[in-house]
Amino acid sequence: MDGTQTLKTGTTTVALVTKEGVVMGADMRATMGNLISHKETQKLFRIAPHMGFTIAGLVGDAQVLARWLEAEVELYETKRGSQMSIKAASTLLANIMNQRKFAPFYVQLIVGGVDLEGSHVYSLDSAGGNIPDKFVTTGSGSVFVYGVLEDHYRDDLSQDEGLDLAIRGITAAMKRDSASGDGMNVCSITREKGFVLLTKDEVEKRKKKMGLK
C-alpha cells in the first residue's frame, strides 16, 4: 500500500472461502518507497453487512473505489429492497475500473462475502479483470501467503480454521516482506452474523495459540 503517485503494491491482503462464509484480512503498513509512511492504514473495508473489500496499491485510487462501491451497493439495496450479490458487486466494480483505460486505477482489489448463492471471493486487477476463486492474496507479501494457503487450505475449512489460516498467512508475509507489517485487520463474514471485525486482542490470542510471533 503506497502513498506516492507511482504504482506500488507494498502490502498483504488475503481472502478465502470456508464452509460457513468468508474470511478477509490485511496488514496495516503504508509505504512511500523505503519510508514507512503510516502504521495504521485501513486496507480492509466493510461494504455492507454481507460484504467486505480489501485494497492494495495507490491509496487515493483504492479509497475512491471503496467509497464508490459502498455507495453503489447501498443505492442498489435501497431501490430494490434486497442485497446485491457478491458477483454483481464485483462485476460493477470491474466495469467501473475498465472504463478508465488511459489512466487506470493502480490497485489490486478483493471483493468477498456471503449471499443467497453461497460464499464468494473475487480478485480484481487494475484493468478491471474479475476472477472468482476459493482463496486469493494480493500485494508484495502475497507470494508468502500463497505458500501458506497452498499448503493448508482445504475445501472443508471451518470459519474458525479460516480465521487462523488468514492470520498465519499475513504473519508469514510480515516476517519476510518489508512493505507489510504493523499489525493486521481480519474479519469474518457469515450468513448468521454478517461482517464481524476481530479485535486486536482476538488476533493476538489466535497468534499465541498457534505459536506465532
- Of these residues, 9, 11, 18, 138, which one is catalytic? 11
* Residue pair 7/139 in contact by the 8 Å Cβ criterion: no
With contact defined as beta carbons under 8 Å apart, do 203 and 60 qualify? no
CA atoms within 13 A on the CB side of 20: 15
Residue 18 annotated to the active site:
no
The answer for residues whose C-beta is within 8 angstroms of residue 7's C-beta and 6 or more apart is 57, 58, 106
Q: Are 143 and 156 in contact (CB under 8 A)?
A: no
C-alpha cell at 127: 484493468
Is the Cβ–Cβ distance between 184 and 26 less than 8 Å?
A: yes
From residue 210, alpha-carbon distances to 161, 174, 179, 205 in Å are: 11, 16, 24, 9
* C-alpha–C-alpha distance, residues 190 and 208, integer Å: 25
Q: Which helix (H) or strand (E) holds 122?
A: strand 118-124
Which residues are marked as active site?
Answer: 11
